[in-house]
Homo-oligomer: A and B are copies of this chain.
Amino acid sequence: RSSIEQTGARREGILDIFGNIVEKCPLITGAIWSKIPFQVYLAVEECVSEFIDSLSSSGKEGILRCHPDLCGRDLTRGTLTEESQNEQSQAGLTSLNPMEREILNHLNLQYKEKFGFTFVICAKMSDKNKITQELNSRLQNDPCQELQNGIDQVKKICHLRIQDIFFHGKIPTKL
């Protein structure tokens, strides 16, 4: 194989590996693509963070809307990405009792109704009780502040997903 072919093939793999470090947003991975395999993992995080910050408010909202509800439709249907499934499961959201599920679903709907985007929280750094408390409390925020809160959580989730790839040999979802 020529060097052109090798480079092409290597680069083609980048989206396979890093395509879902921000849930269902391979556009972001594609945008920071030229920086990825040549730098250490902290740089990947930094590049993602910078790119997200460069987006308009509607772009940031777009990212939040790519995220599934916690304990929502995709979990019920089994159509979560592997990463989301792990995150929600680790926070205990796959084994809620009917009452807990009802409360969470109701709060999620209230949240989406108020803000127009999905409630996002780094589930792995939380648990089912803290998530409900946090959702209740974040419902009180103003939209601007809450958009920033959601994006901060996206970055935490991204941090853990990158760690999983680099240090725990997790096989990422290919989008």
Contacts and interface: CB of A to CB of B under 8 A. Distances in A.
Contacts of A175: 24, 175
Interface residue SS majority, chain A: helix
A58 B32 contact: yes
A15 B72 CA distance: 15
Given A30-B65, A62-B30, A5 B56 contact: no
In this complex, the member of A26, A64, A113 whose beta carbon has the largest number of chain B beta carbons within 10 angstroms is: A26
B24 A109 contact: no
A33 B110 contact: no
A43 interface: no
Contacts of A29: 62, 65
A12 interface: yes
A31 interface: yes
